[in-house]
Amino acid sequence: MRDFFFLTHRRLTLTASRLRRKCGDRSLMIFLSIMIGIAAALAAAALHTLVDKLEKIGIWFDSSPELWHGRFNWVGIVIFVPFLGLLFSFLFQKFFTGPRYAKSLSPLILALHRRKTWIQFREIFTHLISSALAVGAGGSAGLEAPSVLSGAAIGSTSGALFKIDQRHKMLLIGCGAAAAISAIFNSPIGGVLFAVEVLLPHFSVGALVPMLMASAVATVVSRIIFPSGGVPMVAAAQMWRVSAVPWYFALGGITALVGVYVIKSNYALSGFLRKKFPSAWQRLFVGGLLLCVLLTIFPPLRGQGYRFISLAFDGNTDRLIASAPLLDDLPATWRLAILLLAAVFLKSVTSVLTVDSGGDGGIFAPSMFIGAFTGFSFAHIVNLTGIVSLNEANFLVVGMCGVFTSVMRAPLTGVFLIAEVCGGYTLLVPLMIVSSVAWFVSRKLEPHSIYRKVLVENHLISDDPDRAMLQRLPVRLNLDVRAVHLSPEMNFSEASQVISSAPKMLAYPVVDANGHLLGTIRRQTVTGALLDPDVAENLVVFDLMKKVRSSVLIDDDLACAMEKMEKYQFEFLPVIDEENIFRGFVFRNEIFEQYRKLVREAQFFT
């Protein structure tokens, strides 16, 4: 088997070399983008087919309480099924995915930001299986993020197989992500815009061509597999009215508030769970059981929720109300109000519980679900007042765009994705209004998207272009380790002889017997002391050593090092590890040289 893969890889490499020689790099990229589009579409189709089969089993359980000999037995089995899905997903991740398994797009965004393009081959499959087990059994999360991660892994693997350079490999990762979104929603333009706005904002317009090809091919393959469409949500929207324009502006502000709530509640609840229940097994049982209770009371929160969006779009509130049998004792009006509130304010809670309790999935679909019911609720309430008559279906569609834009900070993706999902551009103007207002207001309340927030707060990524460049380079790879180590009790004349025979440095470290950093001594200090031999004979290194005012850790980046140098006006900083063991120096002039290289590289990428 190993020989087979080796031979296949060799043949692919030779094919790529011939194609590159005959047609050039651009032709090779177009060829690879087509292959990636096909592969990503097949992966997305396999994921959604598996989830669809599992969801149908869950629907059968929901609609057949008589099989379980009584109402309470039925409630028990409905609770048990989602937890079982979480358990299987958790065990699969524990034994098959590795220690650095990512359930969010944040690590991918960070990797691309730092020009890292290697993604493990197994991530093509692990995200699909893990998310299918969790969401198919009723877990409240989306499948778009796992599909994007799988598509990105396909792009990275393709680049590695054909020995593509780093810049073009990043482009192939974008092709895989765009193809995944395109295959799911039958939205080729939305897929490309998502890759550009969220994953690769630094790429130029010329990079869109391979992404467009991959996205278009993925749409074609998806329509061959699913002729009726990918995600079943809404039919074609109706024409909008000019008199409703002020209400679209109001909805834009409301969806911005809801989007900010989604971001903040997501991080607050996730942090609370990890703080109170540090063990993954604790989170599985506590968070999983709480999730199952919420899903039993509010069944519309199960899975991706697209089926319930379709009910609301068709105005079929009776079936929506009937989906929550545990609320049967309440009046119909109260049941509808409770379900709408749960859809808007509890969907993000159940999504966090699904992912943090051991499942897998993303916030992509939940944000669209929340937006749909935000828009529907807004129009429904306005219609009840009698002030004006609004088209609830149109506001449902536009609400999806508003919350999606607020959460993802991708306004163009929101506009074109929702427009393509609805089968046309009938609502293009209202979508543009709501997306613009939601983007503007949400940025005032929360500067960062749900994916970038955790990276910014942990100082892993920055909006400052200069700092962002230096964040791509770790201190570990830019160490100067030539300096000789001095001990504090060493005679000064002996130390001067050691220094004179060593490479010339601005400073030298003073360490104890275990290598722990005690201080530094500058070369000019040594030279000055040697001018008076009588004094030098009575000195030891400790006498002229200066204690370290600041240092950097070996796992920090050059942006952190540069900040400390500017703060203390240093020309260099000692580098230590977590145990205070000296590892080397990092110098200001070398950081400037690395910065100039990054500027030239950035010009090449654009």
Quick check: 77 pLDDT over 50? yes
What per-residue confidence (pLDDT) applies to 144? 84
Pairwise CA distance, residues 90 & 102, whole Å = 13
What per-residue confidence (pLDDT) applies to 373? 94
Query: pLDDT tens across 83-128, in order?
Result: 888 888 888 888 887 767 777 888 888 888 777 778 888 888 888 8
Buried b (16+ CB within 10 A) or exposed e, 67-96: eeeeeeebbeebbebbbebbbbbbebbeee
Are 301 and 343 within 8 A, CB to CB? yes
Q: Averaged over 466-492, what is the pLDDT?
A: 78
Q: Does 464 or 140 have the greater pLDDT score?
A: 140
DSSP-based three-state secondary structure for 137: coil
Query: pLDDT tens across 535-593, in order?
Result: 666 777 787 788 888 888 888 888 888 888 888 888 888 888 888 888 888 888 887 77
Q: How far is CA 148 from CA 103, 164, 179, 473, in A?
A: 11, 21, 8, 26
**H or E segment and range at residue 367:** helix 364-385
**Residue 61: band (very low, low, confident or very high) from pLDDT cuts 50, 70, 90:** low
**Residue (of 330, 344, 346, 328) closest to 381 by Cα position:** 344
| Amino acid (1-letter code) at residue 542 | F
Pairwise CA distance, residues 200 & 51, whole Å = 29
103 burial level (CB within 10 Å; 0-12, 13-18, 19+): buried
What per-residue confidence (pLDDT) applies to 64? 55
Query: pLDDT tens across 366-379, in order?
Result: 999 999 999 999 99
Q: Averaged over 456-470, what is the pLDDT?
A: 72
Quick check: 9 pLDDT over 70? no
What per-residue confidence (pLDDT) applies to 308? 87
Quick check: 501 pLDDT over 60? yes
Residue 162 backbone phi and psi in degrees, to 5: -100, 10
Least reliable range by pLDDT among 246-255, 338-347, 457-466, 549-558: 457-466
What per-residue confidence (pLDDT) applies to 507? 82
Rounded percentage of the chain residues whose pLDDT exceeds 90: 17
Query: pLDDT tens across 67-76, in order?
Result: 444 444 445 5
